[in-house]
């Protein structure tokens, strides 16, 4: 669609055509609503459109990291590996877009710049980077939690004569590093997946590490036809299990025992079983790994010894080994040969704790000790997570309230779905919901379905205006914080608390109570007449949910 064909007014504007935006569009169409979707990328896929770096792969198993809303879709689609690669996931998203005829409502290559709510007209005006405007009764942000790529503010980048890349904004045509001297800055999930792949091409690879990372073997493998058949036969039940589970993953174990109640030998055996199984369920070996520092240390110690066994040089192994860090408080990484990559002669670790980066020169990266001359520079430095993509849009009301001011001390939402003071604006997997601490596909489907039901309810009750109540929001924020503070999560210097963005308020953003408990809460709130939300009609009449 070109800007010329853009409608001037629709029922709903959806921002983003990733998994959340596409499913939202599908459900809104079924409600008979007119919808305009805006997407910055040139095609569908969201995070899987942008993160095309070599080695990119999901860390939730493919049979679970997929839509469940259409049984025909889940029965017909054939995943090939335990963890799907980025190209396979992108093929899947494209298949979904075609299968449900979604593209015709999406304007691609269009970034939303502002969303302004007219309090007299009860409508949003959404304006794009091309200065096109559309009015809509509702605006739904499906902007993703990890979509605002962060290139660190290191002096001198503009002087660099070589090519530089960010993993989250990878060129569509790919990059050939054959024979090149390459620097990678960052050793989180993206860096850990990318580094072994770039090492296969580069003549020399420098890995700039600020904080060593816990990474577990993914244990990826081709899916066996019999296992796929079995899963497909039981899909309805498995999906139901996932929806009610803590992490939104049916195959995760639900531990019942403390690590401290096990003998050292039992712990060693139990961690070994999880380690060999692969995947992020490792921290679920015992029920208090994320609750008790002493239990956490048993899991961390085992993981450190595994790192030591994977790296030949003990000094290097020590430098790659996280110390004074609780395992799992930063998002756990899964790798395929990450630590072993450092056993190769042409791969060199640059430990930034010994000598921090000073600046980027015309020819490379300069630390306080020396200059590393490189042909190409890769930032695997992550994202302004959860709030970045929302705050990059100027979201305001006609009376001058701005989301930026409302969230100045950290995001405040009711259920992660709405923010008080911003009527008719929904966020899918917003801060204060399980989102990134869950199988996000399960969380996306739950939010989309809740919003759809809410809009249907409003239509039937003739409400045109919905707003989160400030008191309900304050209580929800307090609940989210209370749950988080009972765990070890807030102690990590992670993007969950915004620690990777200088100046970002330190607030633990996701809801850690589990997707099952969260879903139950959302369902109860809806069943109780949308407790904590205020409604009114076009004629200005205030209505509570049951009138
Ligand atoms: P990340 O986890 O935030 O890691 C960023 C890395 O860059 C960290 O090692 C960080 O060091 C380093 N860094 C940042 N600024 C730096 C600076 N100025 N100088 C030196 N180092 C710097 O980002 P990510 O790896 O892109 O992953 C983000 C999230 O995306 C993941 O946690 C995961 O949820 C998701 N993801 C998932 C997958 C998957 O499904 N397998 C793959 C990729 C990403 P510090 O630790 O010291 O801050």
Could you write out the DSSP letters of every residue in 485-544?
HTSSGGGS-SGGGTTTSTT------S--S-HHHHHHHHHHHHHTTSTTEEEE-TT--EE-
Q: What is the pTM of this model?
A: 0.96
Look-up: residue for tokens 């939303």? 112
Distance CA 530, CA 522 (A): 9
Mean pLDDT, residues 269-293: 95
The whole-number pLDDT of residue 547 equals 32
The whole-number pLDDT of residue 418 equals 98
Nearest residue CA, atom 18 of ligand 1? 152
CA of 290 to the centre of ligand 1 (A): 20
Token pair belonging to 215: 């990474």
pLDDT over 70, % of the chain: 97
pLDDT digits (tens, 9 = 90+) for 298-318: 999 999 999 999 999 999 999
Distance CA 288, CA 276 (A): 21
Nearest residue CA, atom 5 of ligand 1? 381
CATH class of this structure's domain 149-213+345-382? alpha beta
CA of 492 to the centre of ligand 1 (A): 13
Mean pLDDT, residues 49-72: 97
Concatenated DSSP letters of 325-375: --TTTSPPEEESSHHHHTTSTTEEEEETTTS-EEEE-SSEEEESS-EEE-S
Mean pLDDT, residues 234-261: 95
| Residue ranges lining ligand 1, Cβ < 6 Å | 57-59, 146, 152, 167, 185-191, 193, 208, 210-211, 331, 334, 352, 357, 380-383, 436, 495, 500
Distance CA 45, CA 20 (A): 10
Mean pLDDT, residues 339-348: 98
Ligand 1 nearest atom to the CA of residue 57, by list position:
41
CA of 213 to the centre of ligand 1 (A): 10
The whole-number pLDDT of residue 3 equals 57
Write the Ramachandran bin of 84: left for phi over 0, alpha for psi from -120 to 50, otherwise beta.
beta
Nearest residue CA, atom 37 of ligand 1? 189
Q: Does residue 540 carry a pLDDT above 70? A: no
Nearest residue CA, atom 10 of ligand 1? 186
CA of 187 to the centre of ligand 1 (A): 6
Element housing 165 (H / E)? strand 163-166
Q: Does residue 539 carry a pLDDT above 70? A: no
Name the band, by pLDDT with cuts 50, 70 and 90, for residue 399: very high
Nearest residue CA, atom 12 of ligand 1? 186
Q: What does the mean pLDDT of the chain come to?
A: 96
Name the band, by pLDDT with cuts 50, 70 and 90, for residue 324: confident
Q: Does residue 256 carry a pLDDT above 60? A: yes
Mean pLDDT, residues 68-93: 98
Element housing 184 (H / E)? strand 181-185
CA of 55 to the centre of ligand 1 (A): 15
Name the band, by pLDDT with cuts 50, 70 and 90, for residue 259: very high
Write the Ramachandran bin of 465: left for phi over 0, alpha for psi from -120 to 50, otherwise beta.
beta
Q: How far is CA 414 from CA 154, 159, 353, 538, in A?
A: 36, 45, 40, 23
pLDDT digits (tens, 9 = 90+) for 482-498: 999 999 999 999 999 99
pLDDT over 90, % of the chain: 96
DSSP class of 418 = B
CA of 330 to the centre of ligand 1 (A): 9
Per DSSP, the three-state class of 206 is strand
The whole-number pLDDT of residue 365 equals 98
Nearest residue CA, atom 16 of ligand 1? 381
The whole-number pLDDT of residue 5 equals 80
Cα dihedral sign, 275-276-281-284: negative
Q: Which of 279, 381, 501 to mutate to test the pocket of ligand 1 (most atoms within 8 A of CB)?
A: 381
Q: Does residue 2 carry a pLDDT above 50? A: no
Ligand 1 nearest atom to the CA of residue 210, by list position:
47
CA of 452 to the centre of ligand 1 (A): 34
Q: Which of 57, 65, 155, 190 to mutate to test the pocket of ligand 1 (most atoms within 8 A of CB)?
A: 190
Ligand 1 nearest atom to the CA of residue 500, by list position:
48
Nearest residue CA, atom 43 of ligand 1? 190
Mean pLDDT, residues 74-90: 98
Rg (CA), the chain: 24
Q: What is the CATH number of domain 9-148+385-462?
A: 3.50.50.60
Q: Which of 189, 192, 213, 439 to mutate to test the pocket of ligand 1 (most atoms within 8 A of CB)?
A: 189
Lowest-confidence segment of 24-28, 70-74, 279-283, 372-376 by average pLDDT: 279-283
Distance CA 168, CA 175 (A): 14
Q: Where are the domains of the chain?
A: 9-148+385-462, 149-213+345-382
pLDDT digits (tens, 9 = 90+) for 454-474: 999 999 999 999 999 999 999
Distance CA 103, CA 43 (A): 9
Name the band, by pLDDT with cuts 50, 70 and 90, for residue 544: very low
Task: Identify whether the C-beta of residue 17 lies closer than 8 Å to the C-beta of residue 41.
Answer: yes
Task: Identify whether the C-beta of residue 215 lies closer than 8 Å to the C-beta of residue 243.
Answer: no
CA of 112 to the centre of ligand 1 (A): 26
What separation, in Å, do the N-terminal and C-terminal C-alpha atoms of the chain show? Answer: 41
Of 394, 428, 425, nearest in space to 129 by CA: 394
The whole-number pLDDT of residue 62 equals 97
Mean pLDDT, residues 416-434: 98
Ligand 1 nearest atom to the CA of residue 495, by list position:
3
CA of 189 to the centre of ligand 1 (A): 6
Q: Does residue 542 carry a pLDDT above 60? A: no
Element housing 315 (H / E)? helix 314-319
Mean pLDDT, residues 99-121: 97
Neighbours of 395 (CB within 10 A): 25
Q: Does residue 75 carry a pLDDT above 60? A: yes
CA of 269 to the centre of ligand 1 (A): 31
Mean pLDDT, residues 135-145: 98
Neighbours of 441 (CB within 10 A): 21
Q: Does residue 234 carry a pLDDT above 80? A: yes
Q: Is 127 exposed, middle or buried (0-12, 13-18, 19+ CB in 10 A)?
A: middle
The whole-number pLDDT of residue 518 equals 98
Q: Does residue 42 carry a pLDDT above 70? A: yes
The whole-number pLDDT of residue 537 equals 80
CA of 388 to the centre of ligand 1 (A): 15
Name the band, by pLDDT with cuts 50, 70 and 90, for residue 541: low
Per DSSP, the three-state class of 307 is helix
Mean pLDDT, residues 245-270: 95
Q: Which of 148, 210, 497 to mutate to test the pocket of ligand 1 (most atoms within 8 A of CB)?
A: 210
CA of 168 to the centre of ligand 1 (A): 10
Are 9-148+385-462 and 149-213+345-382 the same fold in CATH? yes
Q: How far is CA 508 from CA 412, 413, 505, 512, in A?
A: 11, 13, 9, 9
CA of 192 to the centre of ligand 1 (A): 9
């Amino acid at each position: 669609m070109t800007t010329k064909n853009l409608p001037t007014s629709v029922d709903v504007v959806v921002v983003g055509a990733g998994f959340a935006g596409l499913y939202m569009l599908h459900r809104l169409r079924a409600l008979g609503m007119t919808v305009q979707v805006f997407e910055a990328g040139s095609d569908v896929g969201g995070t899987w459109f942008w993160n095309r770096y070599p080695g990119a792969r999901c860390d939730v198993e493919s049979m679970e990291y997929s839509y469940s809303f259409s049984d025909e879709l889940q029965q017909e689609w054939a995943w090939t590996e335990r963890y799907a690669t980025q190209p396979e996931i992108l093929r899947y998203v494209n298949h979904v877009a075609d299968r449900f005829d979604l593209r015709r409502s999406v304007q691609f290559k269009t970034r939303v710049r502002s969303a302004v709510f007219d309090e007299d007209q009860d409508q949003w005006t959404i304006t794009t980077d091309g200065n096109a405007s559309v009015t809509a009764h509702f605006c739904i942000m499906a902007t993703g939690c990890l979509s605002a790529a962060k290139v660190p503010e290191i002096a001198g980048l503009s002087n660099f004569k070589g090519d530089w890349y960010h993993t989250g904004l990878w060129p569509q045509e790919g990059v050939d590093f054959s024979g090149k001297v390459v620097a990678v800055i960052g050793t989180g999930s993206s860096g850990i997946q990318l580094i072994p792949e770039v090492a296969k091409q580069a003549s020399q690879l420098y890995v700039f590490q600020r904080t060593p990372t816990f990474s577990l073997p993914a244990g990826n493998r081709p899916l066996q036809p019999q296992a796929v058949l079995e899963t497909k036969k039981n899909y309805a039940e498995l999906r139901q299990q996932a929806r009610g589970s803590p992490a939104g993953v049916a195959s995760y174990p639900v531990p019942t025992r403390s690590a401290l109640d096990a003998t050292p030998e039992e712990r060693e055996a139990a961690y070994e079983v999880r380690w060999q199984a692969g995947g992020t369920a490792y921290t679920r070996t015992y029920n208090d790994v994320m609750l008790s520092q002493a239990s956490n240390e048993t899991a961390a110690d085992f993981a450190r010894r595994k790192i030591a066994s994977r790296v030949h040089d003990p000094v290097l192994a020590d430098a790659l080994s996280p110390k004074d860090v609780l395992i799992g408080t930063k998002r756990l990484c899964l790798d395929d040969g990450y630590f072993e990559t450092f056993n190769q002669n042409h791969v060199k670790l640059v430990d930034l704790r010994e000598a921090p980066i000073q600046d980027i020169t015309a020819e490379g990266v300069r630390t306080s000790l020396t200059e590393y001359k490189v042909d190409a520079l890769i930032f695997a430095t992550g994202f302004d997570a959860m709030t970045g993509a929302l705050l990059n849009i100027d979201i305001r009301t006609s009376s001058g309230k701005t989301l930026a001011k409302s969230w100045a001390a950290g995001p405040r939402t009711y259920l992660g779905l709405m923010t008080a003071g911003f009527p008719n604006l929904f966020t899918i997997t917003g801060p204060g919901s399980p989102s990134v601490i869950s199988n996000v596909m399960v969380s996306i489907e739950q939010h989309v379905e809740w919003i759809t039901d809410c809009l249907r309810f409003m239509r039937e009750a003739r409400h045109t205006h919905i707003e989160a109540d400030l008191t309900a929001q304050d209580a929800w924020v307090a609940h989210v914080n209370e749950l988080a503070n009972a765990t070890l999560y807030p102690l990590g210097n992670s993007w969950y608390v915004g620690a990777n963005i200088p100046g970002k308020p330190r607030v633990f953003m996701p809801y850690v109570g589990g997707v099952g408990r969260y879903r139950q809460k959302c369902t109860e709130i809806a069943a109780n007449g949308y407790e904590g939300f205020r409604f009114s009609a076009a004629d200005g009449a205030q209505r509570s949910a049951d009138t």
